[in-house]
Amino acid sequence: MRNNLTTLCYIEKDDSYLMMHRVKKEKDINKDKWVGVGGHFEEGESPEECLLREVREETGLELKAWKLRGIITFVTDVQQTEYMFLYTADDYAGEMTECSEGNLEWVKKSKVYHLPIWEGDKIFFRLLEQGAEFFSLKLRYEGDKLVESVLNGKKI
């Protein structure tokens, strides 16, 4: 069984996030949704090594400054539990490239909530906006429906 440890990064620039519209893969739990960039750990990788590799592979950019903001536990009825290390980054170098998994686009932070995103993502976007210290967020889905959310051990 494949490990279900992942990273997700929202690169910030001019009050916008770099987001990916997941439209290029047929079998994709995120199909048609807007998400950050990231992916699964490879054997022996640390969270930071996974973050840097995935951002480079998906965007062509080399991160220069990033911050681990939280750990998200995704529980669903369609796949094994996923533990995601959530990062933001605000300094990078290089030129953005095409991505084989979706279309990359800078999205104003105020517009993110109007895109087709996972319901639970709205919770961590609010936490990021509020400058929350490191947090642990558990999101439980049945299909596409968010049925439980727990922040730092307390139901919300």
* More confident site: 11 or 24: 11
Distance separating alpha carbons of residues 1 and 19, to the nearest angstrom? 29
Indicate the pLDDT class of residue 123, thresholds 50, 70 and 90. very high
* More confident site: 31 or 101: 101
**Confidence (pTM):** 0.94
Enumerate the domain spans of the chain: 5-155
Residues 6 or more apart whose CB falls under 8 angstroms from that of 133 comprise none
Distances (CA, A) of 71 to 35, 93, 108: 16, 26, 24
Q: Which pair of structure tokens corresponds to residue 19?
A: 């987001």
Which CATH homologous superfamily contains domain 5-155? Nucleoside Triphosphate Pyrophosphohydrolase (3.90.79.10)
How do residues 102-113 score in pLDDT, each as one tens digit?
A: 999 999 999 999
